[in-house]
Each structure stands twice: as C-alpha cells, then as structure tokens.
C-alpha cells in the first residue's frame, strides 16, 4: 500500500511482501526499483532534487529507518514494521541461491566488494554472481560498466555507491541496464564484508543504530547524524503541531488500493 509521509512516498509492506515483489520482478524480468528510506535520506531529499527524483520515481520506497516508522505512526499511517535495506539484501541473496537468480554487486572499494561477495559465496555455495565490480570508476568508464552489467544478464543489481552518485548513475543509465530488480544498499557491502558491524538487536529496536555507527566511525558519521536527526526532529515537531491544530498537511494520506505504483 502506497502512502505519503510529509510529501514523501512510502510503501507500507512487510519483509515477506517486499521479497515477493522482488521475486516476481526477477521471474518476469519486469523492472522494479527499490529504495530504502531512512531519516538522512528523507532530510537530504529536501535540498537535493536528484535524490528526491530518484525516490519519487522508485517503484518501492521501503521504510528503512526507525525514525521514519515512528513518525509515520505518529501521523496516523498504518505502518507496523520496517524493512531495513541490509536485511532485505540478505533475504534476497537467499532467494537468489534457492532459485538460481544471479545478482550483480556494484560499489564499495575493490577489497570490500570482493570480500562481501566471497562471504556470500561461503554462506550460499549454490549462488552464482552475474558480476562483481567496485564503485571507484571514472565518468569515462561509466559506459563500460553499463555494458558489463547489461551483458551479464543479471537478475538483480545491488548498488553500494554513495548518494547522490548512485542516483545520478541510475538517472543516466537505468533504462540501459536491462536488470529487472535494482536496489541501492548504502553501506550493505561493508556489513557483508564484516568491515562495519551492525548495532546489537536491542539498539536496532530502540532506533539507536545511528549512535552505534557514530561509535564505530566518529569522525565520519557524527556530523551527518547530528545534522539530519536534528532537522528531522524539527520537521516532525512542526507536523505534530499542525496535526494537533487539526490542520494536517494534505500529503500524508493513504492512497486507495490500486492507485499507487505498486499493483497499479
């Protein structure tokens, strides 16, 4: 079910429903693009038109961050759970191994993406990659990368490149790739490779994964989270105030079945 959270589309789906849609796309080879929405992405969309357009044009906008989930609930949307990008990546790799789909990994450093792929092979010996390529390629090499992805016959493409580079790459080449399921994975390859650890489960449930990331990479991550979390808190406070005054923004409504991008 597609809904709108403060003007941003979100799809209220369970993990099983999301995996089912991805599997259907790979079987039919009809393109389906997934984007995982967290607080940082939501805030940055407001000042980055390329990122905003990428999210708006995606077929599935999954609720990745606890802040988005709590905010949506607070504004009356029927969101009950989130589907994190890294968990979805893991589930889809299981599907690939079980059903013979061939993934393509694009992004991260050469060492990280190769280590991520090797650890996936170790866990799923039957899985065959369509391709594995790092994200440190120049603009002059972009067409070569696109040709390699297209000729690989990949069933799914997981992109671990930073925003807005990923969005610009997809905006320029989405129609040329020939891959049915496309998904950005953020730092998912770092997690698969073991170079970045996920927060303990209790911290994930409390919405404190950002604090754990700062603990692991304080110099790189503290300002990003301090800025985006503060801005998000301000945006949400204003929305709650409008709701309390019974003047809710018209855009956080739920669309009737069949009128969203999914199932429409």
User: Tell me: the pLDDT tens digits for 77-111?
Assistant: 999 999 999 999 999 999 999 999 999 999 999 99
Q: CA separation (Å) from 196 to 86, 116, 216, 217?
A: 12, 11, 8, 9
Residue 124 has pLDDT above 60, yes or no: yes
Strands 156-160 and 103-107, by their bridges, are parallel
Among 19-23, 30-34, 163-167, 181-185, the minimum mean pLDDT is found in 163-167
What's the rounded mean pLDDT across residues 68-72?
Answer: 95
Per-residue pLDDT tens digits for 240-261? 898 888 655 544 454 544 444 5
Give Dmax (Cα) for the chain: 57
Task: Count the neighbouring beta carbons within 10 Å of the beta carbon of residue 172.
Answer: 13
Per-residue pLDDT tens digits for 129-179? 999 999 999 999 999 999 999 999 999 999 999 888 898 899 899 999 999
Q: CA separation (Å) from 227 to 160, 203, 236?
A: 23, 20, 14
Residues in the chain: 264
Question: First and final CA of the chain: distance in angstroms?
Answer: 10
Looking at the chain, the number of H-run helices and the number of E-run strands are 12, 8
Residue 45 has pLDDT above 80, yes or no: yes
Q: What is the pTM of this model?
A: 0.87
Cα separation, 97 vs 125, in Å, equals 8
Which DSSP helix (H) or strand (E) runs through 57?
Answer: helix 49-57
Residue 27 has pLDDT above 80, yes or no: yes
Three-state DSSP state, 87: helix
Task: Count the neighbouring beta carbons within 10 Å of the beta carbon of residue 99.
Answer: 12
Phi, psi of 144 (to 5 degrees): -65, -40
Cα separation, 232 vs 107, in Å, equals 28
């Amino acid at each position: 079910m597609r809904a709108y959270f403060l003007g941003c589309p979100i799809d209220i789906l369970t993990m099983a429903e999301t995996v089912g849609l991805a599997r259907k796309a790979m079987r039919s080879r009809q393109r389906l693009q997934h984007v995982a929405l967290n607080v940082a992405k939501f805030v940055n969309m407001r000042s980055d038109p390329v990122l905003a357009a990428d999210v708006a044009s995606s077929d599935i906008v999954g609720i990745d961050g606890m802040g988005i989930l709590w905010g949506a609930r607070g504004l009356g949307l029927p969101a009950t759970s989130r589907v994190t990008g890294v968990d979805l990546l893991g589930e889809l790799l299981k599907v690939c191994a079980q059903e013979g789909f061939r993934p393509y990994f694009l992004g991260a450093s050469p060492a990280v993406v190769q280590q991520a792929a090797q650890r996936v092979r170790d866990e799923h010996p039957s899985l065959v990659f369509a391709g594995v390529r790092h994200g440190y390629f120049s603009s002059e090499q972009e067409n070569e990368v696109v040709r390699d992805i297209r000729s690989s016959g990949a069933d799914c493409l997981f992109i671990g490149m930073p925003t807005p580079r990923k969005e610009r790459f997809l905006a320029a080449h989405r129609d040329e790739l020939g891959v049915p399921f496309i998904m950005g994975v953020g730092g998912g390859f770092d997690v698969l490779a073991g170079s970045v650890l996920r927060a303990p489960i209790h911290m994930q449930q409390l919405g404190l994964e950002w604090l754990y990331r700062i603990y692991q990479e304080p110099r790189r991550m503290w300002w990003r989270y301090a800025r985006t979390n503060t801005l998000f808190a301000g945006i949400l406070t204003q929305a709650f105030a409008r709701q309390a005054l019974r003047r809710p923004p018209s855009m956080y409504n739920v669309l009737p079945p069949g009128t969203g991008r999914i199932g429409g």
